[in-house]
Amino acid sequence: MKFLVINGPNLNLLGLREPGIYGSQSYSDLLDFIGGAANNAGVAVELFQSNHEGAIVDAIQNAYGTADGIVINPAAYTHTSIAILDALKAVALPAVEVHISDITSREAYRQRSYTSEACLKTIAGKGFEGYREAILFLKEHIAKAAD
């Protein structure tokens, strides 16, 4: 089983970016965490990060036929990108949306998620642990669907 994990704009600046909201751990720490969580779950992961909407759309499209599921933190594109929503719908891979912070308790403009419409579940406000929860949820969902 293989998942594509996509991180959107500015997540590469974790540790530097608003540590009061996103914590003090770096993006490299996040990648290590995701790799460990996936390894413990017995799944392979491909990690992708971009600050560019089109690159994220391309990554989603490239996942078709190569990945079993997608974990996506679209970051700011969560609240603006119909293109990412359409790409997720087009490939129809099971997907889980993750946010390090709790977007539902932040600014009003961050409370609307377009991309969640194409995801099985949204996990927000659990920090790095949200990625582990997403990986385990996707693994269980795919295993049940295969039965």
Residue tagged active-site, from 64, 79, 99, 109: 99
Give the strand pairing for 95-99 and 121-124.
parallel
Residue tagged active-site, from 22, 77, 114, 131: 22
Identify whether 99 is a catalytic site residue: yes
Q: Where do runs of H (alpha helix) occur along the chain?
A: 19-22, 27-41, 53-63, 82-91, 129-146
Q: How many residues does the chain have?
A: 147
Q: % helix / strand / coil in the chain, to the nearest 5?
A: 50, 20, 30
Identify whether 22 is a catalytic site residue: yes
Active site residues: 22, 99
